[in-house]
A and B are shown apart, each in its own frame.
Chain A
Amino acid sequence: MSFLKKIEIKSKALLLKEFFYDYFWKKSSLNLGLASLIFSLAIIQFSTPQFYISATLRENKSVGSSSPSLGGGSDNLFSIVSSESNSFGEFRSNIYSYIIAQRMWEKGWATEIYAGGDKSIDVNKIDKPQTLADRLGSLLLGYELYDFYSPHDLQDFISSKVDLQKEIKGTNITVSMLTSDQNFGISFLNELMLTADKYAKEFLILKSQAIIDATYKQLSESRNSAITASLAATINKESLHIATLTNDLPYHIYFIDPPYSSEYPVTPNTLAIFISNFIIFIFLSVMYNFIRNHKEDLW
């Protein structure tokens, strides 16, 4: 058993015992351990329980464009490439855009978020509390602060609360948010996604309509039969595009799982907070004793 001799188990066990009694088995550890419980209770008491609201979506692949054939060894690559579309990017940009915040504002969501659902308050006259930093900034730079909430605030709310994640090399998109009110969270997320998707459709309808108008103009001037046929095909294509967009079905995405809430609040995580704070406080006690005992080594 020469390797056991090499490890010097006996002396190491003694050092371990010494470590325990010198740094852990102290009154300060007990005091700080109890303090951690009080600190954890305080954190939990002051935290607002938040529910996890999420929805699982999938990109509508028919929106993606077809890829050109390059031939040769690139075919394999393009089998991957062709499955990628930019729908997620567009959908994400729309969700966080000002125009969507404005539409959500017009639908009255500001009342729900900033006025506690009190519909008697004018949506454009909800008082906005100003932080000290905002006041200081306006004083130093000489600009006026807005007294009322605006769609800009709603846009900030959406950006900070709503999270969009797409699986890497996967197809599913998860849209989620944490909120203290389950019903509000579910309806808000649902409305937000549908509004963003509807806006994308409206933009494309307008684009197709503009193409049709311009093509009709060209068609009236054209005398060449080949060009006329091509222009007519463009009109047909764009008309079909409009027909497919003028319905209530989602465009960029479709729901796999509509917004739903967790059964219980997911945060604060009570057990994890108690355990973590206990470790942190015990660590502080050990470090205090350790630094005190090794002052000379450390400095």
Chain B
Amino acid sequence: MVNGYFRYIDYGGSLEYYIFEIANYSFLVLLLCLCYKLRFININSLIVWTGIFFVPLVLNYFIFSPSLFPDQFQYALEVMSLKSKGISIDAIASQNAQFSLNLGYLGSISIPTNPVTFSTTFLGFAPIPNFMTVTSLAFANKFFLFVSFLGLKKFFFKDENILLLFFLIPSLLLYTSLALRETLIIICSVFFLLNMLKNNYIISLIFLLPLFVLKIQMFAFLALYFVGRLVFRANNSLYMLVFFLGFILLASILLQDVILQIINYYRLGFAAENMDLGDGIYGYYAFSLYGEELAESLELTSILEVVFASIAGLPKLLLMPYPNTWSSIFYPIQFFESIFLILLYWSISVRNNLLKNKEFIYLSVILLLSCMLYSLLVFNVGTFVRYRFSLFFPFIIALYYLATLERGNKTKLLK
């Protein structure tokens, strides 16, 4: 529905901005009270979610300028353009990125393949009263995060209070409080993995497909998991897992040129984006001036080199941002959080005797492979802390689900 009511004006941190966003917050808390009354959530969830919903109000324009995450403006402009005019903003419309499917007599459907349009189209369905500022989409993200919490509680986890703790991880609070598509990526990945563990392949596929548009690399990692589990049954036997890994290695060697070209392309792209020569010369412009030597040093020439470079880069990816790079309040939090998440992963697996569980081994192998691939591209700390979290969080939830399944099996056996 096109509605001229939503139009992008830069309200900054003015009174109007707070009126519009407090109205969004109020609406979500009313929804929360309703859910409590209908007994969908318990009192702890009510209190904690009241706090979680409040976070967007204290981030943009309050703790930091929204320009710290400048992509937010593009998402905000796009959602308001779609809502007020029914068309994308010029920069996106000129790319003409959409997939059309002709359904004969029924007409045709068009699905946007631009990740910004795709995610804002979806986020625009959030029933919040105002899409007026850059923070409105953050509330839309919070709405979908809450819906996913209800879904997880209903279909996967019985212990609501423990599930609630996962939603208090600082990075999740941060990234779901911004106008970015991270929330949708995390939600799709979580439900994909959980449904896979429940052997619901069709439902998993439904959650996997949007990731092709939202984040292609996440799609690739999870598609690998999907194929390995469905075709190779790598979750059932260690021999099949080794066979699957051998198959991946063989395919990588056979398709070496193509794979290297893709990896080098992205390595150069991320390195160029992060290049800073000072005096306002940075990014692609700086790279176009002085990037020749850097480009040569970054080029990977064989799959073996890719494997070594990815293993060498793994500690950096897992532990960044290192203390010597801390430049904002978020960096120390994210550093300690990354250590905490690794310990949590280890602790859940050890406490629940999962180390010999084949499903756990397969899940961890895929996580490790994904991290290794990401480690080849780490040039911008801020970006990859975000990418790492949206990769790691779904696997932690999946691991916890696996642990609850294992505990359930043991209880059944004891009975």
Interface stretch of the complex, out of A74-82, A129-137, A223-231: A74-82
Contacting pair A19 B90 (CB below 8 A): no
B264's partner among A73, A82, A283 (CB-CB below 8 A) is A73
A65 to B74, CA, bound (A): 27
Question: Restricting to B271-308, which residues have a CB under 8 Å from any CB of A?
Answer: 272, 280-281, 283-285, 287-289, 291-292, 295-296, 299
- Cβ-based interface call for A34 (8 A): no
- Cβ-based interface call for A93 (8 A): yes
A266's partner among B9, B27, B264, B283 (CB-CB below 8 A) is B9
- Cβ-based interface call for B89 (8 A): yes
A70 to B94, CA, bound (A): 29
Interface stretch of the complex, out of B35-43, B155-163, B372-380: B35-43
Contacting pair A52 B9 (CB below 8 A): yes
A86 to B43, CA, bound (A): 54
Residue from B11, B16, B27 whose CB has the most chain A CB atoms within 10 Å:
B16
When distances are taken between beta carbons in the complex, the residues of chain B under 8 Å from A86 are: 280-281, 285
When distances are taken between beta carbons in the complex, the residues of chain A under 8 Å from B264 are: 72-74
When distances are taken between beta carbons in the complex, the residues of chain B under 8 Å from A190 are: none
- Cβ-based interface call for B130 (8 A): yes
Contacting pair A81 B299 (CB below 8 A): no
Residue from B26, B73, B130, B283 whose CB has the most chain A CB atoms within 10 Å:
B26
Residue of B nearest to A283 (CB): B26
CB distance from A25 to the nearest CB of B (A): 14
For A, the interface residue count at a CB cutoff of 8 angstroms equals 59
Q: Is the interface of A mostly helix, strand, loop or mixed?
A: helix
CB distance from B74 to the nearest CB of A (A): 5
A44 to B93, CA, bound (A): 36
- Cβ-based interface call for A144 (8 A): no
Per-residue interface assignment for chain A, residues 131 to 147, with 1 indicating a CB less than 8 Å from any chain B CB and 0 otherwise = 00000000000000000
CB distance from B80 to the nearest CB of A (A): 12
A50 to B284, CA, bound (A): 38
- Cβ-based interface call for A272 (8 A): yes
B26's partner among A68, A280, A294 (CB-CB below 8 A) is A280
When distances are taken between beta carbons in the complex, the residues of chain B under 8 Å from A47 are: 16
A106 to B99, CA, bound (A): 55
When distances are taken between beta carbons in the complex, the residues of chain B under 8 Å from A266 are: 7, 9
A176 to B8, CA, bound (A): 12
Per-residue interface assignment for chain B, residues 1 to 25, with 1 indicating a CB less than 8 Å from any chain A CB and 0 otherwise = 0000101011100011001101100
When distances are taken between beta carbons in the complex, the residues of chain B under 8 Å from A43 are: 15, 19
- Cβ-based interface call for A165 (8 A): yes
Residue from A68, A73, A277, A286 whose CB has the most chain B CB atoms within 10 Å:
A73
Given contact pairs A273-B16, A276-B129, A276-B130, A170 touches B94 in the complex (Cβ within 8 A): yes
Given contact pairs A76-B265, A167-B90, A269-B132, A65 touches B289 in the complex (Cβ within 8 A): yes
User: Can you name 7 A-B pairs with beta carbons within 8 Å?
Assistant: A70-B291, A76-B265, A168-B91, A169-B91, A275-B130, A276-B129, A283-B27
Query: Which residues of B are in contact with A by a Cβ distance under 8 Å?
Result: 5, 7, 9-11, 15-16, 19-20, 22-23, 26-27, 29-30, 33-34, 37-39, 43, 47, 70-71, 73-74, 89-91, 94, 129-130, 132, 260-261, 264-265, 268-269, 272, 280-281, 283-285, 287-289, 291-292, 295-296, 299
14 more A-B contacts (CB under 8 A) besides A12-B38, A81-B272, A82-B288?
A: A65-B289, A67-B289, A68-B288, A81-B291, A172-B90, A176-B10, A267-B11, A273-B16, A279-B26, A279-B27, A283-B26, A283-B27, A284-B26, A286-B30
